[in-house]
Structure 1
Amino acid sequence: MSVPILNLLTSGELTVLGRISTASNLTVACDVSDGDTTMRCVYKPIRGEEPLWDFPEGTLAGREVASYLVSEALGWQLIPETAMRPEGPADIDLGPGMVQRWIHEPESSDETLDTVDVVPGNTVPAGYCGVLSAYDHRGDEVLLVHRDSDDLRRLAVLDAVLNNADRKGGHILTADDGRLYGIDHGICLHRENKLRTILWGWAGQRVPTAEAADLRRLAGELDDDTSEIHQRLSELISGDEIAALSRRAKVLGDDGVMPLPPGNRAIPWPPF
């Protein structure tokens, strides 16, 4: 956990750069500075969250922070530094919200496949997993695929633990240094099964041994209401949701098998 970055996010001065219009909830690109260091970030005010029928109102920012804390407690560091701050930029009064370090992605080449992509035909490219066969607007057969790599598999395990209801391809970023990150975890950590993801390529396969051990350790810490992770999560999500998180970690850690997609609503729409 990068304490200097978290301190900068929570106490630095925010300068608005513009709204990200493609986001479903109000999302503002900002620079955050303490006078010595300036960093790009996103700010999502609680006031800008769109109500959802199945998630308590005003809880999405807290779920983003809670998801980051779970990733850090596992030691996987798959979510950029994320924190709550009591106020937004001085020039717009939007109140408390979530702030997260911006991930700078390198420019992609048209000649290489993205982490999640659509390919013509029904043949899975080398180094990829097939997810869904479909037809494009011309009626030609296409295939939704994602990369077959250890870091992406670990993100799929994290999504299963977090009960991520919205893992789209556009929520998976690769930084300039090649590290992979997941973003947009506002609709995670529900106590009921909500898993919707495009990362079904490992469905039914074994959870890697190291990840299973991390999950068992996390479950033990979550069951201890005096542990740091339990206490920090209790400020962000309900006790029932912490208990459900612990159960998911136990099942994945003990049984060691990735979940299978449900009969419907297994993939978020649009998938990107």
Structure 2
Amino acid sequence: MPARERLPALNTDTPPQADPVAGAALAADVPTALSLLREGELTVHGRLTDASNAALYCSISADGRSAQAVYKPVAGERPLWDFPDGTLAGREVAAYEVAAATGWALIPPTVLRDGPHGPGMVQLWVEPDPGADPLLALQDPAGPEAGWLPIVRADVGGGRTALLVHPDDRRLRRLAVLDAVLNNADRKGGHLIAAADGRIYGIDHGVTFNTEGKLRTLLWGWAGEPLPAEALEVLADLAGQLDGALGERLAPHLTAAELAAARARIAELRGTGRHPLPSEEWPAIPWPPI
């Protein structure tokens, strides 16, 4: 029986509701958020049932401050054929460290710590803003409307198709660059959070940093286009940081080969100066896409 099925029974109380505004404000206050995540007391309220690995919805509190968080214990990770067992939590933390180093604030504050079910990843919960503009849409298959970029044609039933699109949005474009660096194998639509302060966050980065190319994403709207100047500047800075303090922070979570592959991806992006194209050797769209 997989380890994730051996987790103790979860609480059955009514979980506290996350406040979109308060969560976004705390996510922007990174030092405070990281301190709370590292030192706060975790109370598990339930399992997120749509997650493939054990993902537990929690409250976290310390020194009169409280927030919501997601806790993914290593004990609940499902074995994967292409990633070493017990490494997904560390990869989530490594992804956060790289995102933080870009200065783009694209992943909520994330730490690796002990919890009620053993060591795991703990990430600040950022509730989506219900009033935010959509990040994905289905449009007429003849072509996207102005301001939207095509991803793929989708079967909507009854023999009908529609075009799945995402906005031509600077925030999403930054995330597409980050995913190329991380070699993110699972950028689904449900892994995009539009926060109440106008930021967009990406979540679920356990399947990243593989040494083989595995980029699977819905953010293909800029495929083959020149990278923006700001992206090239960030990539140059990342290359330097990986040879210094950033590389040291990533070393506990990644192998030497995985770090070398990350450096190689950055070098390739800088060399081509373009967003990557979908591979012809593996599916370019994650499944399910949403």
TMscore range, shorter length? over 0.9
**Letter of the aligned partner of 2:130 in structure 1?**
E
Deviation at 1:122, TM superposition (A): 2.8
Structure 2: how far apart are the matches of 1:39 and 1:95?
20
* Matching residue of 1:233: 250
Structure 2: how far apart are the matches of 1:260 and 1:253?
14
1:159-195: CA deviation from partner (whole Å, max 9, x where unpaired): 0010000000000010111110000000001111010
> Aligned with 1:42: secondary structure?
strand
50, 60, 65: which is aligned to 2:88? 60
| Identity score, percent | 49
1:247 aligns with 2:264: yes
> Aligned with 1:155: secondary structure?
helix
> Aligned with 2:284: secondary structure?
coil
1:27 aligns with 2:55: yes
Structure 2: how far apart are the matches of 1:50 and 1:154?
30
Deviation at 1:73, TM superposition (A): 1.0
1:191 aligns with 2:211: yes
Structure 2: how far apart are the matches of 1:191 and 1:64?
16
- Report matched runs for 1:1-272 at 5 Å: 2-85=30-113, 87-89=114-116, 94-108=117-131, 114-222=134-242, 224=243, 227-263=244-280, 264-272=282-290
Deviation at 1:108, TM superposition (A): 4.6
Q: Which structure 1 segments of 5+ residues have no match?
A: none
Does the CA-based 8 Å contact 1:219-1:247 persist in structure 2?
A: no
Give the RMSD, CA atoms, in angstroms: 1.4
Structure 2: how far apart are the matches of 1:119 and 1:20?
30
Deviation at 1:115, TM superposition (A): 0.2
Structure 2: how far apart are the matches of 1:68 and 1:181?
11
Indicate the larger mover: 32-41 or 99-108: 99-108
Aligned residues: 261
> Aligned with 1:44: secondary structure?
strand
**Letter of the aligned partner of 2:228 in structure 1?**
P
Does the CA-based 8 Å contact 1:121-1:140 persist in structure 2?
A: no
Does the CA-based 8 Å contact 1:213-1:253 persist in structure 2?
A: no
Q: Which structure 2 segments of 5+ residues have no match?
A: 1-28
Indicate the larger mover: 199-208 or 118-127: 118-127
Deviation at 1:79, TM superposition (A): 0.3
Indicate the larger mover: 134-143 or 163-172: 134-143
Q: TM-score, normalised by structure 2?
A: 0.87
Structure 2: how far apart are the matches of 1:101 and 1:221?
25
Structure 2: how far apart are the matches of 1:107 and 1:154?
22
Q: 1:47 to 1:140 in 2, by over 3 A?
A: same
